[in-house]
A and B are shown apart, each in its own frame.
Chain A
Amino acid sequence: MNLELLKQKMDEANYVYDDTLAVTLSVALQLGRPLLIEGAAGVGKTEVAKVMAQALDRELVRLQCYEGLDEGKALYEWNYQKQLLSIQINMQEQDKDQLTQSLFGESFLLERPLLKSIRSEKPVVLLIDEIDKADEEFEAFLLELLSEMQVSIPEIGTIGAKSVPFVVLTSNRARPLSEALRRRCAYLYIQYPDLEKELAILRKKLPHIDDRLAGQVAVAVQKLRASESILKKPSIAETLDWAAALDALGIRELTPDAMRQTAGFILKNNEDMHVLEEEPAPHDCNCGHNCGGHHHG
């Protein structure tokens, strides 16, 4: 898929992107490389995979990583209960070797996301979310899958990919990832959107919202993110929630009062709430007049 076509597909998926993001996605697709996306929480890393699934018209297979995640949860597991039942039923069978062998067949294999993604007849988008939360052993185990597009199951042997998935890995940089994993991936770092992009996202995702309110929300969120006193920076999802909450309450203008009433949608810890109460309204438009920041569209 060339760059122009990809852009067109992303437009159709209502996704707001910049050129760097589009080029990176296009390069990763072209080279057939997994894409490693890093960035602060809430900048839209996971969304990239969802949008790619939509744009490429593929199924999204998701693997959420956590501490202690192992092959059993990520790749495959034998269906023990079914195996036990099978043993009970076929107890009278004479050929014991045949019985044992049958226990490790396809019908007893429970596919987990990784195996599912490579055994799918149609190519899928595989999202390996928050890889930094998984252990280093799991990261090493992923290497075979990412570079060779195959996995090894001791009882069956090596399983090659029927179709090559587009792999997206996301990381919040909670721990540094290994060089080996990085080298196998194309890399993208996503930052919080600037004012223009934030406004474009608001307009695309919440088209029914008053344009002036959307502008005020975008400016306020930008200022909150720029404020050094705010510890937990608002994410894009929180911006959308906030704008939707303001709209649901019938608020058409972002006054300091409206902001305080709905602050829980944008700020998620007590210290930040205190900062908001102590500091002047962050949506002051710097117009030079004592307008309180809410009389200009």
Chain B
Amino acid sequence: MVDPVVYTEKLSLFSRMLRLEGLAVGPQETADACQVLLNLDLTDKALVKAGLRTVFAKSREEQTTFDRVFDGFFVSEETMRKQAMEQMAKQAQMEEGRRQAEKDLQFQGQPMDLREDLRDVYAAMPEEERQKLRNIMEKYKGNIERSPELYGNFIHSVFARALMEHQMRMEDAAIGCEEADPELGMLYRDISQFKDTEIPKAIVLIQSIARQINGELSSKGQKRSHSGKLDFRRTIRKGLETGGSFYRLSFKKKRTRRKRLVLLCDVSGSMMQFSEFALRFMQALNQVSESSRVFLFSEDLFEADPFSLQNMDLFRNYVRQSGLYGKGTDLGTALEKLCAIRPEVLNASTTLLILSDSKTIDLPRATAAMLEAKHRSGKMLWLNPIPERKWQYLRSIQTAATICRMLPCSTLQELGEACRRLAT
């Protein structure tokens, strides 16, 4: 018979692990879990898991996290030994990679000026990829000796770019692995990775998130409804129920002025899917704005007819007919044209919302146009479908982020969050 103290210690450690994973687990939950375990058959792992899940996980998202932590924590000795062996082998491989990286990432006997994380990326790279980089170094060996300064910069940029690209691929692969629950996974997956067959499911998901946000905003709206002015008609009517005494007072509702939105949607090849999702969100959120105008752009700018945005096929046909489809992104031209429209579209009471990945041609012109548009509109926000972790690699995003607030919207969850923020 195992000492019960061992169970309590293990359970306490498990609670700590859950806390580290972001679950709000307090002493009360741990005490409850102890009580649950006392009454369960401890030899049945599924039973124990279901019992503890009831106590520790308080939402569907938390259930997914709980399952992951539970499966990692309560493992058999054999699995534990196997995992330890694998981990040791991995570490040894990494050490070897680091030694190799130290040897390879040198330029004329001096270590290259690369970030530490990029050196680790090199260490974890497959041998073929490392060989490719070594071949480049070998190929330009003669040139490097003749003109070390010129070719030094070139070699450095080739290495840095290759390593960053590999790092991005590794990050993407890791995100894919996290998808345990298909529906929840879809919420947290990069929109650009959706397959065509998944789009209807994504739209259903958007509607459900929009319904949630609407519900939330509507209940917040109720809270704000008190204006302080007495509603005489209602008060008198209610008073009749209590024999004419004004037992309960009714107040007039506060008039809430909602925003006027101007949406500028990038519909160039890569952005089409994202713009469509974002527009669906905006449409589904009846609480966000009292009026909105939608402009589509790629190399030119067109105002969208609201009826054309009602469903996916109509939207796609409209974009094709407008001649914007399949072209590049020219934000500068689009913003200049938007500012030139008379009567003025942008003014102090409008919020300009740009939906684009910011990969525009002629960045200086786009920057100037953004400054002008920001000056004219009351507020300017940018919804960007590129994952936030990749922003550091893109100059255009860094420039745009200095001018207006940029919200990451690479996943449906982030897109929903951005819309929620927009509405509050």
Contacts and interface: CB of A to CB of B under 8 A. Distances in A.
Nearest to A138: B219
A27 B54 contact: yes
Interface of A: 2-3, 19-20, 23-24, 27-28, 30-31, 33, 36, 38, 67-68, 80, 84, 132-133, 135-137, 173-176, 179, 182-183, 185-189, 228-229, 231
Given A30-B36, A38-B60, 13 more contacts: A19-B46, A23-B40, A27-B36, A31-B32, A31-B35, A31-B36, A84-B242, A133-B215, A176-B216, A182-B58, A183-B58, A185-B58, A189-B60
A27 B55 contact: yes
Interface in B174-211: 197-198, 200-201, 204, 208, 211
B63 interface: yes
A188 B36 contact: no
B242 A2 contact: no
A132 B32 contact: no
Contact of B47 (A2, A23, A68): A23
A80 B239 CA distance: 11
Contacts of B201: 228
Q: How large is the interface on B (under 10, 10 to 19, 20 to 34, 35 or more residues)?
A: 35 or more
Contact of B215 (A19, A174, A179, A188): A174
Contacts of B223: 135-137
* CB-CB nearest 6 A-B residue pairs: A175-B215, A182-B58, A23-B50, A228-B200, A174-B215, A175-B216
Given A2-B39, A23-B47, A231-B204, A189 B63 contact: yes
Interface in B99-155: none
Interface in B46-96: 46-47, 50-51, 53-55, 57-60, 62-63
- Give the interface centre of B51, B58, B201, B241 by most chain A CB atoms within 10 Å: B58
Contact of B243 (A31, A84, A188, A231): A84
A187 B36 contact: no
A231 B216 CA distance: 22
Nearest to A22: B50
5 contacts: A27-B54, A136-B220, A185-B58, A187-B62, A189-B60
Interface of B: 24, 26, 32, 35-36, 39-40, 46-47, 50-51, 53-55, 57-60, 62-63, 197-198, 200-201, 204, 208, 211-212, 215-216, 218-220, 222-223, 241-243, 247
B216 A80 contact: no
A2 B36 CA distance: 11
A135 B50 contact: no
A166 B390 CA distance: 50
Contacts of A19: 46-47, 50
B314 to A, nearest CB: 14
B347 to A, nearest CB: 33
A175 B212 contact: yes
Nearest to A227: B200
Contacts of A2: 39
Contacts of B241: 80
Nearest to B204: A231
Contacts of A84: 242-243
Contact of A173 (B35, B53, B57, B212): B212
A135 B36 CA distance: 33
A167 to B, nearest CB: 15
B54 A188 contact: yes
Given A80-B247, A84-B243, A179 B24 contact: yes
A283 B32 CA distance: 46
Given A31-B32, A175-B215, A187 B242 contact: no
Nearest to B218: A67
A3 B53 CA distance: 16
A187 B23 CA distance: 14
Nearest to B62: A187
Nearest to B311: A271
Contacts of B212: 173-176
B18 to A, nearest CB: 13
A175 B223 CA distance: 15
A30 B39 contact: yes
Indicate the member of A27, A137, A229 with the most B CB atoms within 10 Å. A27
Nearest to B36: A27
A80 B242 contact: yes
A136 B62 CA distance: 22
Contacts of B53: 20, 24
A147 to B, nearest CB: 10
Contacts of B63: 187, 189
